[in-house]
A and B are shown apart, each in its own frame.
Chain A
Amino acid sequence: MTGVPVVDEKPEPKGNAPLGGDNASTARLGDRLFGGAATASGVIVIAMVTLIATFLIVQAVPALLDNQENFLTSRAWNPGGDQPGFGILEFLWTTVVAGAIAMLIAVPFGVAVALFLTQYAPVWMRGPAAALVDLLAAVPSIVYGLWGLITFAPFFRPIQGWIESTFGWFPLLAQTGITGGTILFIAVVLSIMVVPIVTALSREIFAQTPLAHKEGALALGATHWEMIRTTVLPFGRPGVISASMLALGRALGETIAVTFLVSSLPNGAAWTWSLFNGGETFASKIANNAAEFSNPSRTGAYIAAALVLFVLTFVVNSIARIVIERRKAFSE
């Protein structure tokens, strides 16, 4: 569920050199078998990833070569046929913007709740409230999709109407005629989905702020908030960043909830910057059209889109990883 190894917070035991690798190994049969099994497992993982990458590329390349449109900048999506032409701009825009807005909402709230749970909440409240948040981090995304579709959508519609009529002059909030699964609506549901993840991970890290730092700040005359600002937040910042990146990865790749909620656009719909426009994300487009994968050139187009999503998620995860590594390097 979390994915961020808690150990990263810790000084590594004795400078992290458990007996210099294979030096401790002997030539005993058991050692060779066990070491072999461990190595084999690692190799299996490499093989799997290589296979997946090969599969994605082999299927995507022929379709990309036949593509009559620019894959990255076109908004048309007409795979298959004699003149296949498809581009991912619309999916890229929807996916990235929905993910980004979800983060803009989820990270401040998630961090604030984590601070609340570790620094502000009355002691009796911390356990139950934290357990509730953890439970919600484990609720399957399909449930968020159902709630968004059936319960939340009717509630959100008048809010959207009010924003459109009040701030419609602003291009990002202009009315587009889409009333159901707008980018903003999807972003809000995604943010509700990932807030518990951000909170759960941030809470673990905030709780580990060294007491000496906090007491030091207080001893210097800091108020409670100043203490948090000068000790807890800096200590937890890398953790919060990596938690946010993991949550962003979840939001970008979310399939079923978005498929339930999304309003797709007809072919040739005019481009608009508005967040109240519809539009499929990568994952929902693929899931919604999996039935269409009837021949290689058509399938290849969707696989190429999947490849982009794959790269996007990988970049986000890598950033999280780098942040964690850097923090490791700086701490202690």
Chain B
Amino acid sequence: MSTLTREGRAAGESRAQPRSGDRLSDQHDQQPPDEGATPPGGRPDDAALEEMGNPHHGRAVKDAAARVVMWGAFGAVIVPLVWILYTVVSHGVNLLLSSTWWTNNQRNINSGDTGGGARHAIEGTLMMAGVTAVIAVPIGILTAVYLVEYGRGPLARAISFTVDILSGIPSIVAALFVYAVWVTTFGIERSGFAAALSLVLLMIPVIVRSTEAMLLLVPNELREAAYALGVPKWVTVVKVVLRTAFSGIVTGVLLGLARIMGETAPLLILAPYTKNFQRDLLHGNFPTLPMMINQDRGDIGFATAAERMWGAALTLILLVLLLNVIGRVIARAGSAKT
């Protein structure tokens, strides 16, 4: 059970500690400084105290100042962030309230026209994220399994190092790489799948690192118990280690998905936008929410296009939020075990 505690702390956040610390400090603040104690070197006389400023007074002032600074910083940060959310919601929410937004595409809707919906882009974004996950998740999890359960020595170090490199690749570079392989070398057409491939490159390191962290939390006692019962190693890994770490792994995957769903640069290069439904990932242009935003930004002088742009942005935020909530629910469920 000790691991579960640890995992719970890792996934959720333990609120108990800061809370009790806070209470302690509050009590402390009200206590008068101890006048009776004599510091080493004797107490300074009043004149000296005057000269250096009353130390007790100075400490209290500093403490109060820190409190004010923290509140101020929170206010200063929260203002632009709430401003952003307000901008997106206030401009975009009207479109989201209409039912066609969720059922229709943008076919035959020109920049200056109203109407139509974003279903094509919502579906496209989810499909692309799904395909990316289908490729990246097994590779990522198995790589993490190798690093934690199997790998020792130079190969493991090499893999760990390359995962670091991969996590440093800017999205635009990943896109250029896939374009060079997919289009320039093999002459295959640009498509949703090509974009998904570049997203795979961005997603794998996120999954490897989060899964690795979760696997390291699985206590050795569980593995040893399984081995002692004669369970083969691979069954141990699949049924004991991965299962114990399951909720943490899923959280990592969903957070990785949230991260790639908003990526735009690879789509610009690899998956041109279409206003129609497109469920063929291998042929033709592909609709996605970031590209829909980008397209309508090009005609932002039209109020209709501007509204669509904010609507698509809000939809994208909601999708990402949905994934985050799912991840959080899983994390909460995981930590509930303690």
Contact = CB atoms under 8 A, between A and B. Distances in A.
A and B touch in the complex (CB under 8 A): yes
Interface of A: 1-3, 5-10, 12-14, 16-22, 24-26, 28, 30-31, 33-35, 37-46, 48-53, 55-56, 59, 108-110, 112-113, 115-121, 123, 126-127, 129-130, 132-136, 138-144, 146-147, 150-152, 192, 195-196, 199, 203-204, 206-209, 211, 214-215, 218, 221-228, 249, 252-253, 255-256, 260, 282-283, 286-287, 290, 302-303, 306, 309-310, 313-314, 316-318, 321
B201 A142 contact: no
B85 A136 contact: yes
Interface stretch (B105-113, B260-268, B274-282): B260-268
Contacts of A19: 220, 223-224, 227
A221 B218 CA distance: 39
Contacts of A208: 9, 14, 17
A5 B17 CA distance: 21
Nearest to B167: A317
B234 A33 contact: yes
Main secondary structure of the interface of A (DSSP, over half): helix
Interface string B125-153: 00000000000001110110111111111
A112 B74 contact: yes
A44 B63 contact: no
Contacts of B88: 143, 146-147
Main secondary structure of the interface of B (DSSP, over half): helix
Contacts of A249: 168
Interface in B7-66: 9-11, 13-15, 17-22, 24-26, 28-29, 33-34, 59-60, 62-63, 65-66
B204 interface: yes
A224 B324 CA distance: 34
Given A108-B73, A196-B81, 6 more contacts: A45-B166, A52-B177, A208-B17, A214-B17, A224-B63, A287-B172
A31 B234 contact: yes
Given A120-B67, A225-B62, A39 B233 contact: no
Interface residues of B, number: 126
B172 A218 contact: no
9 contacts: A28-B234, A34-B234, A34-B238, A41-B138, A133-B81, A142-B293, A151-B83, A218-B24, A310-B168
Contact of A45 (B66, B208, B310): B208
Contacts of A109: 73, 76-77
B213 interface: yes
B170 A112 contact: no
A55 B181 contact: yes
Contacts of A53: 165
